[in-house]
Amino acid sequence: MRINKFLSSLGIASRRAIDRYIEEGRIKVNGVIASTGIDVTEEDEIYIDNKKIETNRIEEKVYFMLNKPLEVLSASSDDRGRKTVVDLIKTDKRIFPIGRLD
């Protein structure tokens, strides 16, 4: 699996952020500075900023169903500071709003 998708699935950062880390030389795979687009597996040793990433962990998936109030956005963030559905759910898990189901 491509390194950005693999690390994103572990909850490390978004794919774009992982690509930036690679460009900045912050990620090593098996002791070598990573390049964009390389494939990795759970057996590879991956370090970000010289900290080893636990590659065999599986992020637990949790599903929330919400009756969204008016004037709350179906999004994870808003550049204008409006309230989003992520603001309404108190959890330590990552939340990915899937949109409206109307």
Active-site positions?
A: 102
Helix H or strand E segment including 7: helix 3-9
DSSP characters for 72-92? -BSSS--TT---BHHHH---S
2: number of Cβ within 10 Å: 15
Question: Which strand ranges, in their side-by-side order, compose the sheet holding 27-29?
Answer: 32-33, 27-29, 46-48, 51-52
